[in-house]
Amino acid sequence: MTDILFTPVALNERIELKNRILMAPLTRCMADDALVPTQAMVDYYARRADAGLIISEATIIRPDGQGYPNTPGIFNQAQIAGWRKVTDAVHENGGKIFAQLWHTGRVAHPHFWGGTEVIAPSAVGVEGTVPRMRELTYLVPREATALEIAQLVEDYAKAAENAIEAGFDGVEIHGANGYMIDEFLHYDSNRRDDEFGGSPENMVRFPLQVVDAVTSRIGAARTALRISPAAYFNIQPDARDRAVFDLLLSELDTRELAYLHGGIFDDSVHYDYLDGRVSEYLRRHSRHTLVGVGGYDAETAAAAIASNKFDVIAIGRPFIANHDYVARVREGAELKPYSDELLPVLY
């Protein structure tokens, strides 16, 4: 029984979704070399407009936010014009689309913008090399100054404005998966002793400044946030992180947001320091519309929504394999299985 997935839901007075199936943000590394969306990307997103909401692949807010090849940007007019073609095509097909705003923080690599250094909350690097570009070893970042942090806040806000100019229905701030915002929220990556580190109050400051700056520029109804309370990707877990996320969520509860989205690959994993699954932890600590994600199919997602575990579901890998995912679920048709071999081609 998947009927509940096909009931509409209002995120707020401004945005109503025609169904509860969201397309999760999915990096595909297929923008052109100027980081402008291509016609293939226009077609790819337009084919998925049946989703209640498409969340775009993570899109960089400024050149030094780039950590993977050919990830699209939203910091200049050519990129805005490229995204306008995507949003127009999605709207023509009856869909809605948010832009996911991204700075990869210490996972960035200066190879991509011709620089020499990377900034992050603290001078603590990640091990290893850039995916698909194994010759690029990650650098130890330089600790960002307070002035640079203020500039980052401004650049997220400007990117949000650019997204609206490009025709997006809203933005999802990428606060998950070990990138810049998430790096402020974990003790592993944030070793600062100024007003941005050292205590939960200080560690949530930058993420909240970004949320507030974006909200003040484009409105809370069009601002959403993705967070990863479980450090599971590019960051080492630390039991003290729990208090940081508890505070972040209680602070977010005093603000309006279009929705809150858990960043996770497999929501069946139980994290002791979160007292359960990521979605359970977020549900207990947040009043916001919650997007569930991570290893769900239509049946398990419908059951979770019916039992109020979350409100809507984001589907990732199955949406890569099936551009007509929503129609197939509605008709009870078989789905093509996902495999990593599907990644090099957009269809």
Active centre residues (catalytic): 179
Asked if residue 233 binds ligand FNR (CB under 6 A), the reply is no
Of 21-29, 125-133, 278-286, 299-307, the segment contacting ligand FNR by CB under 6 A is 21-29
294 binds, among ligand FNR, ligand 8K6, none (CB under 5 to 8 A by kind): ligand FNR
Shortest CB 9 distance to ligand 8K6, Å: 27
Sequence-separated (6 or more) residues with CB below 8 Å from residue 150:
none
> Footprint of ligand FNR on residues 48-67 (CB under 6 A)?
57-58
Q: Should residue 9 be labelled a site residue for ligand 8K6 when binding is judged by CB under 6 A?
A: no
104 belongs to the binding site for ligand FNR (CB under 6 A): no
**Contact predicate 33/70, CB 8 Å:** yes
**Total residues at the site for ligand 8K6 (CB under 6 A)?**
9
Q: What is the DSSP string of 22-58?
A: EEPP-----S-TTSPPPHHHHHHHHTTTTSSEEEEEE
The least CB distance from residue 177 to ligand 8K6, in Å, is 7
Name the segment binding ligand FNR (CB under 6 A); options: 19-27, 82-90, 105-113, 325-333.
19-27
First to last CA, the chain: 29
Please give the Cα distance from 195 to 146 (Å, whole number): 9
Shortest distance in whole angstroms from residue 29 CB to ligand 8K6: 5
| CA 180 vs CA 67, 103, 155: distances in Å | 11, 6, 13
Q: What residues from 82 to 101 belong to the interface with ligand FNR (CB under 6 A)?
A: 100
CA–CA separation, 95 and 2 (whole Å): 20
Q: Tokens 């600590």 appear where?
A: 285
Rounded Cα distance between 208 and 212, Å, is 6
Using CB under 6 A as the binding rule, whether residue 226 contacts ligand FNR is answered as yes
Binding residues for ligand 8K6, rule: CB under 6 A, are: 27, 29, 68, 131-132, 232-233, 265, 343
